[in-house]
Chain A
Amino acid sequence: MSAIELRNENKKFLSGDEAVAEGVKLCRPDVIAAYPITPQTVIVEKLSEFVASKEMDCQYLHVESEHSAMAASMGASMMGSRTFTATSSQGLLYMCEMLHYVSGSRFPIVMVNANRTVAAPWNIFGDHRDSLSQRDSGWMQVYVENGQEALDMVIQSYKIAENQSVSTPIMINLDGFVLTHTYELVSIPEQNQVDEFLPPYSTTNKFDFENPKSLCFTASPEWQTEFRYQQYEAMENAKKVIQEVDKEFSQVFGRTYGGMVEEYHCSDADYILVAMGSVAGTAKIVVDKLRKQGKKVGLVKLRFYRPFPKEYFKKLGKKAKAVGVIDRDISFGYEGAVYSDVKAALFSQGADVKTINFIAGISGRDITKEFLAEMYSQLEAIGNGDKVEEIQFTGLRWK
């Protein structure tokens, strides 16, 4: 059988949620503990079906809340089990306390968060307010653009999180509805290739009768700093591991995502947009269109928000004339959180670059190609010395 035939055979037309479930199945987790919430529910429904039909050899725990989902996931990981969970929005907030327990205890749990805004006003649609609010929870955060990347990142994420120099949980962020409920052509990797790429989880950070120890203990002021330093160091280590894992993944599966960031027409670009998640795809179309008109525009798809690619943006600040950051959220009293981080890195070496923050895609409002083209024209204007507002709410009804 030729490689092309094989690839065709393994293609399916799946929603983002279903693609995630396929990815999780391929990773052979020992334990899944989850509580349903829109728009993530299909992920855990599919997984429970796989377990019920014995397609997966896995313990599935139906828990009574998201707090319990994360507590049970932590318990499973403490026994050395490969563990998966998924949540969204209010559910993520409800497990907030346990997020810190898991990251502080260094359990490499993989969780998919279907990005959805946070009440009030209550709303089930997508933005990044849920995950961005958990920036300092000590979890790695990656944002994906489509169903294929969601599936592939489940596989990559276990490899990154379980790397001994990282040993940190990871949250894969998938835009609610726009990705979770959109069906796309997805290539399903071969099980034997995944098995080879991702061997069973092995750790010394677990309960063990042969080697008894305490886990998740109390630390005195005398030691807390050292624990925090180790978490800091693990995230710094992760930057390298993320690049290595993406490279190895591309060698096995033929797809690469660029690791921390993906650049699109950035090498000679004067005007660059930075975006996370599904809007990056739409922005690529706008870049193509503007390039045809001779505009020197580019896109940075920011994939990892934590660890943050500080070094990358330091360099970008020296090349570009103007950089715009799309935030699907805002930190009230300041600006978009992603914008703050990008700006700090851009200017950290005294670069002469103009910046604009676009607050867009709030609770499912569409980010159209027209909006994106307007963002580029705002960047061109500020680059030419025009006065342009720094924080702009895209498509706002009134001012």
Chain B
Amino acid sequence: MIEIRWHGRGGHGGFTAARLLGLAASVYSDNYAQAFPSFGPERRGAPVLGFTRIDKNPINDHSQVYSCDYVIVLDESLLDTIDVTKGIKDGGVLIINSKKPARDFNIQKDITVHTFDGTQLALDVLGVPITNTVMLGATVAITNVVSIDSIYKAIDDFMSEELREKNKKAVEAAYNSIKGVTN
């Protein structure tokens, strides 16, 4: 089972990214999935979590997520107050939305740290600094957890018509930019 944690602030759409990935992995790929938020009242601007579980087999586990394969951080200011590396498995991946290079975060753990300037890309493509779909595209490019096509299908299913095309563009731009770098 692959377990993924999304760090954001209320309003960033971190849980939407968690749901989109779950939808892509289950309905639009051949897996089972779960997605859930950090439970409780929703507050704009407050640190919030989203979780996605993906497995080939039905997921019976209804306890919380304590260890993760991948962690995505939509807002680097969260690192000032939260240990975003908590529970990342050895060999796991941390992806931070930041202009800074990964080494600047000086993370001393047996994990791979990637940074991606999701905010600039979101401003360029979407016109707003909402980075959830951009960071989802980056995550898929880095981890290959699902196919990028399944993400496009999930967006078509999930979003209103006016949001669909530009969010697919945002995902694609992020995906291509990373694949271009790493290929």
Contact = CB atoms under 8 A, between A and B. Distances in A.
A364 B63 CA distance: 10
A234 to B, nearest CB: 33
Interface stretch (B29-37, B69-77, B160-168): B29-37
Contacts of B180: none
A185 B23 CA distance: 8
Interface string B1-37: 0000000000000000001001100110000111111
B53 to A, nearest CB: 9
A232 interface: no
Contacts of B34: 182-184
A250 interface: no
Interface of B: 19, 22-23, 26-27, 32-37, 39-41, 59-64, 66
A11 B61 contact: no
Contacts of B61: 281-282, 285, 369
Contacts of A181: 36-37, 39
Nearest to A148: B58
Contact of A185 (B26, B39, B40, B64): B26
Interface of A: 11-13, 124-125, 145-146, 175, 177-179, 181-185, 278-279, 281-282, 284-285, 364, 366-369
B39 A125 contact: yes
A179 B35 CA distance: 11
A13 B63 contact: no
A10 B40 CA distance: 30
A368 to B, nearest CB: 5
A185 B32 contact: yes
A183 B41 contact: no
B33 A185 contact: yes
Contacts of B59: 184
Given A125-B39, A175-B62, A183-B19, 9 more contacts: A12-B27, A13-B19, A177-B39, A183-B36, A184-B32, A281-B60, A282-B61, A282-B63, A368-B66
12 contacts: A11-B27, A12-B27, A13-B27, A179-B62, A182-B34, A183-B19, A183-B23, A184-B33, A282-B62, A285-B60, A366-B64, A369-B63
Contacts of A177: 36, 39-40
B19 A366 contact: no
A282 B22 contact: no
